[in-house]
Amino acid sequence: MGAPQLRIEGSTFKDPNNREITLRGINVAGESKYPKSPDIPSYVPDKFFETDDISFVGRPFSLDDAHTHFARLRKWGYNTIRYIFTWEAIEHAGPGKYDDEWISFTIEVLRIAKHYQFYIFMDPHQDVWSRLSGGSGAPGWTLYAAGLNPRAFKKTEAALVQNTYDNPAEFPKMIWSTNYTRLVCQTMFTLFWAGRDFAPKAIINGVNIQEYLQGHFIAACRYFALKIHEAGDLENEVVIGWESMNEPHRGLIGVQDISVVPSDQQLQLGTSPTPFQAILTGSGRACEETTWAFGGFGPHQTGRELVDPDGESAWLPTSYDDHKYGWKRDPEWKLGECLWAQHGVWDPSTDRLLRKDYFAKKPQTGEPLNYDIFTNTYFMDHYRAYRDAIRSVWPESIMLCQPPVMEVPPDLKGSLDDDPNMIHAVHYYDGLTLLTKHWNRLYNVDVIGVLRGKYLAPAFAVKIGETAIRNCLRDQLKYLREESLRFMGDHPMIFTEIGIPYDMDDKHAYKTGDYSSQISAMDANHFALEGSTANGFTLWLYTTQNNHEWGDNWNGEDLSIYSLDDPELPSGKLLAIQSASRSRSDPHSPAYSESQSSIDDEHVGPSNLKDALRPASITTEISSQLSKDHTGFRAAEAYNRPSPIFTNGSLTHHGFDLRNCTFTMSLVAARGDQPTEIYLPDFHFPEIQSVVSVSSGEWTIDHAEIDSVKIQRLRWWHPEGKQEIKIEGVKRKPGDLTKVSGEDLTYLEQCQRGACTLM
């Protein structure tokens, strides 16, 4: 095991030269959510329920292709990867049966990543529990262990699953996430976190279902970590740590009254059952449920709909062969009956709710429960067990603690859990853009402010105008950073998921090549990240097989920065050469001098700056022509942006003004001869056309070569104290940023009349 390439010092990351590291990362890769053999994206129904004899070998990509993908991401300036894997990939064949072939394959992928000098942390990913319940993560056998029947989820609406939808192409956008508040997820997460308290009859192999599920999840991750440890050349050198379970959800824990939709349930889409209605339809009863849609006005009720399972139950029948996976269920836990009925929550003979507040308090003590208490008790109990299991293999592992999304983090500051080798992992999405798949340039909502009770009324949370929207996104991220320091303690914080949908406005960009909305949204998100004072991010997402028809090949999502159907951003150097070529034949355009073209392959620094900055003709003709051909660069102008890499001192500010193509950065410099290094994408900053101003010191623009990948960087040697740098590149019009849709104007008019509603 090599020396750490990254270490935590207080709330910052440091390299072996004691420079501050900024993590600029990406999630890799979207295909890791579903098997390779058979290849089952979420729109493919064939062999969907055959979950044992599968393989994830080849995810996220083949060994032959790994160099291509890692080189591409390194070229785009990413230095960090959140490596997605699922519990299912390790333990799909049955409890305790680990897929050593997949683990060996993954180790080889990580070894290739090491060539490109990435910082990688491992992400045990889940969405709405499992593929069988409409997401990703847990093996199929976990649902059978809990007494559930995945083949009955469709008719009972216990989960909405694209693979079993009548027409997968018409699967409603983002409806998959409502599965968190449907029967399967509510049950599985309640059992996972608190089965001992709320389902004491659920005994399997002599232990409660809570211990059974958590024990297998933790043991599988520990086994994987052990194999990486035994490889001997990955820890510290490429793998820097392990994240806890992705996007944990409380299930029913702390729900005060299961006969109504919880007041803190922010998302309602499609049918929206109360928890008790979900329990009833899960047992074959018909219920009339409200239906909701999500538009420019936020969620709004559209009517009511009868959900009639026609007697079919989401629970396993008594005829199920309960010996298939080698477990033994306690006789008091009866198949063919709702588990919650067996615990006295409701009476199946009368369909009467008996204990509407069953999940509102701890049954043994009567202690009231809410999301805050859940996070500080049930979640933290699991996190400690997971942390200790990983560190029993690798004591020096950095741990990324990911509490429930958008909730107040656990109060760890000054406690025994105030671990100096811990990172706070946070997710944030601009919900209005994500759910409507539309970049609204006119208004947005301070969702974090609403959730934290900042406003007397939600209408005050509306921010009008693109500048206000950008500032609002930044302020929300900054608030989350400050909240982290207040509750979690003095630790680094990373936004391990943030991103935008690319299929905005009914895939308008794919038809026209006009990615201006995506550019604006992506730029606003990065503006927010840069102003948040967080220590870095891993953007969601990189998917190798993304395409215009099926997006990320998972639940209709389309958030990948890369697509097979879009070209990559061209080199700024090539654009400059083409522009120069045209200008030489145009007597009305400034011509490149011979001295300039001779500088083209040299390093640019103070000694040759004057010659390098002679007038050049930069036009939008190339981009305009590409736009006419319906070709766009998938908003790469916005995410392929400059960033600090190593800072010799303390970074106090950095930001990129895309409109003016100007990067600024300030720091308090430390003593030493190591340079501060800044990644400069050559699209925005071709060497011969970049203007650099520094408060003091010397600088040069050159290329770092990492496994044959050339990465343009600026290195700056500066004295101690407060220092500033400004780098000006080539301004190019990314799109018309002034258009406002009719829908947005309608909404603003309604707000002015006081008639608007918010999510």
pLDDT tens digit sequence for 22-80: 999 999 999 999 999 999 999 999 999 999 999 999 999 999 999 999 999 999 999 99
The predicted pLDDT at position 627 comes to: 41
Distance CA 510, CA 566 (A): 9
Band of residue 266 on the pLDDT scale cut at 50, 70, 90: confident
Task: Mark 194-228 as b/e (b = at least 16 C-beta within 10 Å).
Answer: bbbbbbbebbbbeebbbebbbebbbbbbbbbbbbb
> What mean pLDDT is predicted for residues 646-665?
97
- Please list, in sequence order, all residues whose beta carbon lies within 8 angstroms of the beta carbon of residue 382, skipping any fewer than 6 positions away: 192, 193, 214, 244, 245
pLDDT bracket for residue 591 (50, 70, 90): very low
Give the mean model confidence (pLDDT) for residues 648-652.
97
Bond from prior residue into 275 cis (ω within 30 degrees of 0): no
pLDDT of 211 > 80? The answer is: yes
Q: Which of the four pLDDT bands, split at 50, 70 and 90, describes residue 571?
A: confident
pLDDT over 70, % of the chain: 88
Q: Please, which pLDDT band fits residue 430 given cuts at 50, 70 and 90?
A: very high
SS3 string, 525-543, reads: HHHHHHHCCCCEEEEEEEC
Instruction: Give 252's Cβ-side CA count (13 Å radius).
Output: 31
Model pLDDT for residues 86-99, shown as the tens digit of each residue? 999 999 999 999 99
The whole-number pLDDT of residue 604 equals: 45
Numbered ranges of CATH 3.20.20.80 in the chain? 7-273+367-539
For position 759, what pLDDT does the model report?
42
Q: Which of 360-369, 433-442, 616-625, 748-757 is predicted with the least confidence, judged by mean pLDDT?
A: 616-625
pLDDT at residue 631 greater than cutoff 80: no
Of the candidates 623, 626, 625, 615, the residue with the CA atom closest to the CA atom of residue 580: 615
Question: In the prediction, which pLDDT does 349 show?
Answer: 97
Contact 427, 493 (CB under 8 A): no
- Choose the catalytic residue: 31, 88, 289, 497: 497
pLDDT, tens only, 709-731: 999 999 999 999 999 999 999 99
Largest CA distance in the chain: 91
Is residue 497 flagged as an active site residue?
Answer: yes
pLDDT recorded at residue 458: 84
State CA 492 to chain mean position distance.
18
Q: Are 88 and 130 in contact (CB under 8 A)?
A: yes
Exposure string for 297-310, b = 16+ CB within 10 A, e = fewer: bbbeeeeeeebbbe
* Average confidence score pLDDT of the chain: 90
Secondary structure E strands in 270-421: 270-272, 287-295, 298-307, 346-347, 352-353, 398-401
Note the pLDDT tens digit of each residue in 229-240: 999 999 999 999
Q: What is the DSSP string of 666-733?
A: EEEEPSSSPPEEEE--TTT--GGG-EEEESSSEEEEEEEEETTEEEEEEEEE--SEEEEEEEE-----
Mean pLDDT of 478-492: 98
The residues facing 130 across adjacent strands are 138
Percent of all residues in the chain with a pLDDT value above 90, rounded to a whole number: 83
Residue 573 pLDDT more than 60?
yes
Q: Which residues contact 38 (CB under 8 A, 6 or more apart)?
A: 46, 47, 50, 54
- Is a pLDDT exceeding 90 seen at residue 560? yes
- pLDDT band of residue 218 (cuts 50, 70, 90) is very high
Tell me how far apart the alpha carbons of residues 300 and 303 are, in angstroms, rounded to a whole number: 9
Q: What does the alpha-carbon distance between residue 93 and residue 45 come to, in Å, rounded to a whole number? A: 20
Tokens linked to 33: 């959510």
pTM of the model: 0.91
Q: Which of 737, 749, 722, 514 is nearest to 634 (CA)?
A: 514
Give pLDDT, residue 744. Answer: 47
Non-local CB neighbours of 268 within 8 Å, separated by 6+ positions: 178, 261, 290, 292, 299, 301
Q: Are 556 and 173 in contact (CB under 8 A)?
A: yes
Give the separation between CA 489 and CA 407, rounded to whole angstroms.
16
Q: In Å, how far are 29, 420, 495, 628 from 237, measured between CA atoms?
A: 21, 20, 22, 46
Instruction: Pull the structure tokens for residue 651.
Output: 């970074």
Crossing angle between the packed helical segments 504-512 and 516-531, to the nearest 10 degrees? 120
Protein fold of 7-273+367-539: TIM Barrel (3.20.20)
Q: Are 122 and 242 in contact (CB under 8 A)?
A: yes
In this model, does residue 752 exceed pLDDT 60? no
pLDDT in tens, 292-303: 998 776 788 999
Bridge partner list, 547: 551
Residue of 31, 157, 247, 677 marked catalytic: 247
Rounded average pLDDT over 368-378: 97
pLDDT, residue 263, reads: 85
- Between the two ends of the chain, the Cα-to-Cα distance in Å is 49
- The predicted-structure confidence for 516-533, as pLDDT tens digits, reads as follows 999 999 999 999 999 999
